[in-house]
Structure formats: structure tokens, C-alpha cells
Structure 1
Amino acid sequence: LEGQPAPGYRLSTVRVNPSTVVLLGSADVLAAVPGFVETEPVALAGATSEIQRRLQLRVPDGVTVLEGRIVDVTASITPIQGGATIRQEPVIQGLDAGLEAAVAIDTLDVILSGPLPLLESLGADDVFVILDLTGLLPGNHTVTPRVVAPTEIQAEGVIPERVEVVISIRSTPEAATATETATITATVTVTETVAVTATLNSEQPAATAEPLGGDTP
């Protein structure tokens, strides 16, 4: 085996198939062979997952392998397990419409365990602390937080273990309705009517008619 796995990972097991072989050779040569036979090297540098190789056995001169010199080698690389504590703001879920909730604390400490590389790569949006208020009525309540984390991460605990929440009816400001009253003023103009009296004179001078062509007496 040559090199080291990537930071945060380790070599856990090595398997060789077949695990035993039969060597052929002279008694003197076989007597010099130790109780194992080496293979070609397996490079582990920077590895983060299982490595599988078909490798040749390194046997001394004058020695042969009964079933061939090729073997299958599997090197298992696993993450180093670690722990971490992160601080998260609680997320409220399940609050009925028309209600509001006040949480006694702003943040909670979450204790996590799991593969070290995954713990080191956790972001703010990877872990959530849920306060489930489903069905709770207005008043004071003590709620147990629930942690949501990636599959390979385990939540070992939350500090504090229980959180006080005060639920109240949401105050909605009343919309002020302004009613404008329009006042209509009617101006009545009184017009004086002047009566004019006309006096007709019935006495008019009579017209005198003279006969045509006649003499005047």
C-alpha cells in the first residue's frame, strides 16, 4: 500500500481474492519464502472511496504460483467519524392562520455526529431546527425541537432540549373608512314680476267717407 487517503478518510480493510495461493519450487527456495507473498503496490493517495485492482504477485525467482499470479485486491476507504456543534435559528411550522408566535430564545445549539468530511462541509441551509406548533392554541407552550439534517448526519441532541413559545392572536389594524359627505346648496333666486297695465281708449274719431266723383255740399 502506498500513500494516504484524503484528509478525513482512512483505510479500513484490505481484502485479497484468493486469500491463499500454492507455491511451487525447490525446497531450498520455498524455505526462504516468508509466510506471505506481496502484490504490486496499491496507490491510496487522495482516495475517498473503495479501490479495486487486479495485481500480480511478487514471488522469488524459481517459484511459480499453481493457479496463476493474478489476484483481486479491494481496499476499503471510509470517512473518519467526527462530531460538531452548530448554532441555528429555530424555524416555526404548523402555526394556524391568524396566530403569531414569540420564541423565548433566538438560537439553539445542535450537536451532530457523522463523517468528518461531511460535517466540515455543512452549510447554513443543510441543518434545520423545527418548532412544530400544529394545533396549538393561544397561550404558553413548551415545545421539543426537531432537527432535520442530511442522511448520513445524526443529531445527538439540542441545547436547550425544550423551548418556550408564546402563541397569541395576531393583531390586525382596522382599516379606517372615511365617508365624505357632499353638501349641495341650492340658491333660489326670486325674480320680481312687474305687472304692466295697459289702458285702451275706446273713443276714437270716426272717419268720414266721401262718395267717389261727387261734389262736396
Structure 2
Amino acid sequence: MRVLRWFAGNLGSLALAILLAVTVWAVAVTSGDPDEVRTLPDSFAVEVAHLDENLVVRGALGQSATLTLRAPQSLWAQISAERLHVVADLTGLGAGEHRVPLRLETDLHPVRLEEITPTAIAVVLEPPASQTLMVQVRLTGTPAAGFAASAPRWTPQQATVAGSESEVARVTAIVADLSVDGLRADVDREVALTAKDAAGKTIDSVSLTPATAEVTLAVEQQGGYRDVVVKAVIRGQVRSGYRLTGISVFPPLVTLFSADPAAVARLPGYVETEALDISGAQADISGSLTLRLPGDVTAVGEPVIFVQVGVAAIEDSVTVTRDVRPQGLAPGLSARLSPATVDVILSGPVPLLKALRASDVEVYVDLSDLTPGNYQLQVSYRVLLEGVQVEALLPAQIAVTISAGASPGS
């Protein structure tokens, strides 16, 4: 009885002690791993939950929300978009328009939602509907000059559109758009289907089954027209020591026309340009050239051809021997180099290598801050003629002996 009376008399003190202990524990935890409040830079797509199986959401939901969260500092490294979900709970909602609050769902704890924007979204629920319509293929653009496209064929002939009742009712056509612009060959491809309203606008908030149609289309060249390759005619030779690196022609193919189909049929499959003179060229050369055509044949469109010829110096290599010069040797010291010369393997354009002078290549060792002793040092070089490169030094290192006393003749 006395124990019970003691507990009764000290109940307030016990409660206060427990509260203080919890407070001290909470302060210790938060001081070691304090909370941070951050607004996430990315927005999150709103997901719906518990939608009645006899209803659908009208239109594309297409809404997103931004989140501001509070979490311990150590937990932020684990917070990612994959573990955060913004949910609109549709439990118990029937057909009609509703204002639905948003909430955060996550498996991370303790994470607390400080703010969500917007706090709620408008959702319209309707009964589902579907209808089957004929597929239409719509051609856009025009084939290449001298070509004609036949009427397209496609499968399937029908497709089913599904979605909310009001959105499905807006669909008046299911269309496959196919561009034939610039075509020179037959077409056999899968083309995406789109739902259109009476004004021709696309309705994205419904689904189509199937989502594509296979469309075939014959593209044929008309009589009197023929596609031929363009052959550039080059005259002359580049300068000695240079070579051709390539010839580009644009356009590489042209369409020719003649009122006499036999005239284009007699052509050898290519047509030549006027000559481009490259005599003595030392760099790339280009020009706009006309075509050499029979009198009764014309080129469709612009008959001028752009030709570019690549010209580069012929590369070669030479080996030269150079004395190694000491650099940076302190006063009062002498240096003995072994070997005193190295072979330098150079590469570059032949004209530059032929013009190479002894003073264009310098070879040296850096003796700065070195005291008397024996060293194995890397050989350095300078090439003063632009376009010439050093491929190797033989040897790349030399032995250097530094001694007290000036070098002879210093």
C-alpha cells in the first residue's frame, strides 16, 4: 500500500522525468543527424490510385507536382525519384468532376512532406467507351522530279479507339500520315495511327488498337526521265610533292529528261561535268561546274554541280643527326655528354622536309639546378619548322657527368 501511495504521490514527477528523457534523446539524435528541408528540383507526375473499374479518367491526366521535404541529413543520399510517388486517391469517387487532394507515398522513413504544389487536382471520371473506324492513309509531299506514286495499300483496314465516353465521341477519323516527299523508291513501312476530330486535330487522350498500320506504295519513274550518276572530270596534276586525297561531288545523282525517251536510255548511266583544272594545286580546290549533256537532254532542276578536290602534301620521314647542347648549366661547372649527338627521326610533308635546315631542329638537355654528379637525363627538342614532327630520338636519354670547373674554352 505504501508503494502505491508513493507512486500516486510522485506520478507527476515520474511523467516529467520521462518527458525530459525523451526530449534529451530527441535532441541528441537530431544534433548528430540534423533535419534538412529541401525543395526537389524535379516535378513528379501525378499517379491515380483506386480508380473504379467501371470508370476512366477523361483526357490525359498529364499533371505534376513539386515537393518540399524534411529528412535527416544522412537520408538525403537515398532520396530519388523512383522512391517518391505523388498520388491522387480516387477511392469511392463516381462519375463526374472531382477535386482530389494529393499525397506523398514513399518507403523512406523518416521523410516528412513539408509542402506539395498543387495541393489538389481536378479529375473528371466517365464511363469507358470504344468505337471501330476505318483507317485512312493520307499522303503528304511530292516524289522526286520525274517520279510518281501509286495509290497506297494498307493493313489493317480498321482500328479501335478507346477512352472516356466524351473523348471517344470526338474521334471522327483514324489516320496514318505518310510523307512521299523526294521519294525515288517503293515504300513498305509501319506508320503510326492517330485519332483526329472533325477539325483534323489530333486527340492524344485515347488509345488505338492496333497503334500502327503497314503501308505499301509503289513509286515509279515516268517516261522520258532517268537518274544518272555525276562523274567529275579533273584536268591537270597537283604540284610535285602533293597528292589527291579525295573528290566529292554534289549532288552525286541527277535526273535527266528528254521528250524522246530513247535519248536518255542511250546514256551510259553517268554524265560528265565540265573539267576542273587542278594544275599546280597545293591545297583543296573546288568549283561549280556545268554538265556535258546531249542537245536533246536537259537536267531537271539546277544543272550546276559543286565539285571539291582534296589536296595534301605527301608525307615522308628523314633521319638527321644533331649535337646535344647543354642548357642551364650553373657557372663554374662543366658537363660531359655521352653520347654527344642523337639521331632525330622527323616526319612531315615532302616539300617541308626538303627545305629543312640544320638550325630548324634543336636538341638539348636541361641542366638547371643540377650539382656535380652523374645523371641519366631525357633529351628534349625544338622544331622551328611548322608542319614537321619528331617521331623519335635515338637515344632518348643520355649520360651526363657534371664536374666543378669551367668547360674548356669557356
1:84 CA drift (Å): 0.6
Once the two structures are superposed, residues 168-215 of structure 1 have per-residue CA deviations (whole angstroms, 9 ceiling, x without a partner) of: 22349xxxxxxxxxxxxxxxxxxxxxxxxxxxxxxxxxxxxxxxxxxx
RMSD: 1.8
Tell me the distance in 2 between the aligned counterparts of 1:27 and 1:165: 84
Please state if 1:91 is matched with 2:325.
yes
- What residue in structure 2 maps to residue 54 of structure 1? 288
- What residue in structure 2 maps to residue 159 of structure 1? 394
- 95, 100, 110: which one pairs with 2:344? 110
Task: Using structure 1 for the length normalisation, give the TM-score.
Answer: 0.73
Tell me the distance in 2 between the aligned counterparts of 1:32 and 1:169: 91
- What residue in structure 1 maps to residue 306 of structure 2? 72
Please state if 1:141 is matched with 2:385.
no
> Given the superposition, is the C-alpha separation of residues 6 and 30 from structure 1 closer, same or farther in structure 2, using an over 3 Å criterion?
same
Bigger share in strand: 2
Q: Which amino acid aligns with 2:292?
A: R
Q: Extract structure 1 runs of 4+ deviating beyond 4 A.
A: none
Please state if 1:17 is matched with 2:17.
no
1:164 CA drift (Å): 1.4
Question: Do the aligned residues in 1 keep the contact of 2:274 with 2:292 (CA within 8 Å)?
Answer: yes
Q: Which has the larger radius of gyration?
A: 1
Q: Which amino acid aligns with 1:49?
A: A
SS at 2:374's partner residue? strand
1:18 CA drift (Å): 2.1
1:35 CA drift (Å): 2.3
- What residue in structure 2 maps to residue 189 of structure 1? none
Once the two structures are superposed, residues 89-112 of structure 1 have per-residue CA deviations (whole angstroms, 9 ceiling, x without a partner) of: 112222223322122233211011
1:151 CA drift (Å): 4.0
- What residue in structure 2 maps to residue 125 of structure 1? 359
Ranges in structure 1 where 5+ consecutive residues have no aligned partner: 173-217
SS at 1:96's partner residue? coil
Tell me the distance in 2 between the aligned counterparts of 1:154 and 1:41: 37
Tell me the distance in 1 between the aligned counterparts of 2:245 and 2:252: 17
Tell me the distance in 2 between the aligned counterparts of 1:171 and 1:77: 54
Counting matched residue pairs gives: 172
Q: Which amino acid aligns with 1:153?
A: V
1:13 CA drift (Å): 0.8
SS at 2:317's partner residue? strand
Ranges in structure 2 where 5+ consecutive residues have no aligned partner: 1-233
- 310, 315, 323: which one pairs with 1:81? 315
Tell me the distance in 2 between the aligned counterparts of 1:7 and 1:171: 51
Bigger share in helix: 2
Tell me the distance in 2 between the aligned counterparts of 1:163 and 1:171: 21
Task: Using structure 2 for the length normalisation, give the TM-score.
Answer: 0.40
